[in-house]
Amino acid sequence: MAVQLLNGLAFGVLLLVLSSGLALIFGLRGVVNFAHGALYMLAAYIGFSATTHLSFWAALVITPLALASLGIVLDRYGLRFLSHRAPLDMVLLTFGLTFVITDLVETVWGEQSRSLDPTAALAGSMSVFGVRYPTYRLFLIAVGLLVCVALVVWLRLSRTGLYIRASSSDRRVAAVFGVDVDRASAIVVGLGSGLAGLAGVLAGPYLSLSPNMGVEILIQTFIVVVVGGLGSLGGAMIAALVLGMANAIASVGFPSLSAYVPYALMLVMLLLRPQGFAGTRTA
Amino acid sequence: MKITTRRAAARALAALSALTLAACAGGAASTSSSKNDMIRVAVVTPQSGSFAAFGTEQREGVQFAAAEANKNGGIDGHKVELYLADSHGTPEGAVAGAQRLVQQQNTKYIIGLVSTPELGAVEPKLSAWNALMFGTQGQGDALTGESCVPGFFRVTANDSIGVRTLAAALKTFKDKQWDSIAMDYSYGQASAAGVEAALKQDGSGLGKKLFSPVGTTDFGSYISQLSGKGGIAVSLSGTDGINFFKQSLQFGLLQKYNTVLANTGLQTSTLAALNEPRLVGAWGTNTWLPTADTPGSKAFVAAYKAAKGKLPSENIGNGYLGMQTLFAGIRKARSTDPSAVGKALNGLTYDSIQGQVTMSAADHQIEAPTYIGRVEKYEGGYQLVAKQAIPASENNPQANPACKMPQQ
């Protein structure tokens, strides 16, 4: 049972890091970022190359920074540029970006799947709760949880966090009170993309890399954001862990139904509590 | 205003005339054959989605065969011309891509689709299009069973052949206890059922029998249920296979089994992605292997390596075999007309990378050997090295009785 809980936690934490970025961007910009999965996939490939040519630790720093820079550019020349247009324009932009990024990755790295081994320090397994468990998965759980706790603390206690929460609650009122909402938006999209970058690097030694990996995980990430409450970071965190656990338990208890678990969870939530676990509260 | 209307009418008339002429020309091309006729082939492969890597491999094999044929003066003097389309890995995408090339480019031969649903969607259209299609990867029995049509020819193993090959492999191991993990898809279900039946016949026991949904990324929950005792039969392919092998090695599970046997899962691309020395000694089966010991296979592999600097993967070979089958039909028919080629292929025995093979007239399923191989270090990487060939008489003792081939 301990192994199943750890398995649920490992996948849940990966979803958590990814969905945190998606929830933050939706909370502030009101944009469903369809390119989030593609950014995660791009990050996994950048991380793959950085690990191959430098080291995993370098990849862990470089990739989120590269993706955060890309996010800031996306916000400045994409989302902000289209902010006064119909929501469908935003959807088209982010959806179109998915194809562009996927083609870019296929051109540079090819269509074949790739795999990355954990760095020597994280290879092998450790004893946890009396069972042997892969060290890399424990590392992933620790890093993911640490980053998300730091994110919540930063949003709650820092001045920038206050501005972001204010902008997410009501963009116009926040602007009237002197908050630079464009700057807050750039920070959030940069941060959200950086988190997709972190998730991509962490996924490298955990899963296999393929140009399709973003699409596969994006659906589950959307479910997490909906179940957690649109735009709510705290809600997405709880939902990611619940989904990870539910997946792990279902694949043991009801293997033939395990593929339906995320959708069943979303269905039940939409019927019983449409606002999600935490409504629209940012953090 | 009147002038504009007249001009528009004249343009419409001219366009109609051009269309009529084009239609006549198209009709002529499809019913007669001369040395100047091109062999126009629609290469419809998934270039996006989860099958994209397979699609690229198929395309490479087809392109290599076409280039080789053209370099040698064509097939019976007919040059090969390829037209490419993306099936997007979906049945509707496959139909749209094939239909566009058949109707706009007058292609009469279709090749490259990788999954059973894609092939199954195009198969019923072949008669109306007067086209032939060559299956080079999809394994579903029904394609050459209850859904069989005169225009479809499969050059790779079907599910039943794959299962018989797996059963033959299981007989060679002494383990009395086995686990099975398979993709929850027709290929995996057929494979798992075959493993269970073979073990029962052999007096061995099947412990855990697990199915994972297609596209499973985290296999942790499945891995923790497997015993690690005796042998394990793995029926997972593509990224599912890569994820399973990688994660089960991280958990230390795969190392505990005496025998690891994969049904088509240990392909060149999977082994290249994993680049994993701990997989040395694992066993696998496949329809054709680049290490197959036949003169045709060796010649193809040598030519491909000389041209591309790498070993051809299984799917590259399968795409090449599909084209070899088309060329054999054209040579026998002495025509590029698809009806004539289709008739010529019925029961035709021809040389290929699989040695001398026969296209069954009863169900249009190739009668060719399948292989059991062992993972070994090979030319700087890891490769399933062929150790035993299962002849067609054993892997496919009779045509699929469910196929009631319609009259051509």
pLDDT in tens, B231-271: 999 999 888 999 999 999 999 999 999 999 999 889 999 99
Task: Determine, for residues A7 and B211 on separate chains, whether the beta-carbon distance falls below 8 Å.
Answer: no
Interface probe with B: pick from A137, A210, A221, A260, most Cβ of B within 10 Å: A210
pLDDT in the model for residue A81: 84
* H or E element, residue B326: helix B314-333
Which residues contact residue A18 at a Cβ distance below 8 angstroms, ignoring those fewer than 6 apart?
A36, A40, A195, A196, A199, A217, A221
pLDDT in the model for residue A2: 81
pLDDT in the model for residue B407: 67
Domain spans, chain B = 39-157+293-364, 160-286
Residue B390 has pLDDT above 80, yes or no: yes
Residue A153 has pLDDT above 70, yes or no: yes
Q: Which of A256-270, B246-260, B382-396 has the lowest mean pLDDT?
A: A256-270
pTM of the model: 0.85
Domain spans, chain A = 16-214
Q: What 3-state DSSP class applies to B260?
A: strand
N residues, chain A: 283
Q: Which of A174-183, B302-311, B334-343 has the lowest mean pLDDT?
A: A174-183
State the Cα–Cα distance between residues B168 and B161, nearest whole angstrom.
Answer: 11
Report pLDDT digits (tens) over B81-128. 999 999 999 999 999 999 999 999 999 999 999 999 999 999 999 999
Q: What is the mean pLDDT of residues A86-100?
A: 90
Confidence bin at A259 (pLDDT 50/70/90): confident
Task: Determine, for residues A216 and B251 on separate chains, whether the beta-carbon distance falls below 8 Å.
Answer: no
What does pLDDT average to over chain A? 89
State the Cα–Cα distance between residues B183 and A187, nearest whole angstrom.
Answer: 42
Confidence bin at B277 (pLDDT 50/70/90): very high
The closest alpha carbon to B284, from B161, B388, B178, belongs to: B388
pLDDT in the model for residue A276: 84
CA distance A175 to chain B (A): 43
The total of other beta-carbon atoms located within 10 Å of residue A280's CB is 15
pLDDT in the model for residue B36: 62
The one-letter amino acid code at B257 reads Y
pLDDT in the model for residue B408: 60
List of chain B residues whose C-beta atoms are within 8 Å of the C-beta of residue A210: 50, 53, 239
Interface probe with B: pick from A208, A220, A245, A247, most Cβ of B within 10 Å: A208
pLDDT in the model for residue B24: 38
In the stretch 185-214 of chain A, residues with CB closer than 8 A to chain B read: 206-208, 210-213
pLDDT in the model for residue B63: 98
Confidence bin at B11 (pLDDT 50/70/90): low
B365, B134 Cβ separation under 8 angstroms? no
Residue B148's Cβ-side half-sphere holds a number of Cα atoms within 13 Å equal to: 24
Helix (H) and strand (E) counts in chain B: 14, 15
Residue A121 token pair: 């320090």
Residue B30 has pLDDT above 50, yes or no: no
Task: Determine, for residues A247 and B218 on separate chains, whether the beta-carbon distance falls below 8 Å.
Answer: yes
B370-378 vs B109-111, strand pairing mode: unpaired
pLDDT in the model for residue A29: 79
Return the HEC string of B5-73: HHHHHHHHHHHHHHHHHHHHHHHHHHHCCCCCCCEEEEEEECCCCCCHHHHHHHHHHHHHHHHHHHHCC
Token look-up 């735009």 returns A231
B interface toward A at CB cutoff 8 Å? 47-50, 52-53, 55-56, 184, 210-213, 215, 217-218, 220-222, 224-225, 238-239, 242-243, 246-247, 250-252, 269-270, 272-275
Please give the CATH topology (third level) of the domain spanning B39-157+293-364.
Rossmann fold (3.40.50)
What does pLDDT average to over chain B? 90
Confidence bin at A27 (pLDDT 50/70/90): confident
Residue B28 has pLDDT above 60, yes or no: no
Q: What is the ipTM of this complex?
A: 0.84
Please give the CATH topology (third level) of the domain spanning B160-286.
Rossmann fold (3.40.50)
pLDDT in the model for residue A237: 86
Q: Pick the most confident of A52-66, A108-122, A148-162, B30-44.
A: A52-66
First to last CA, chain A: 31
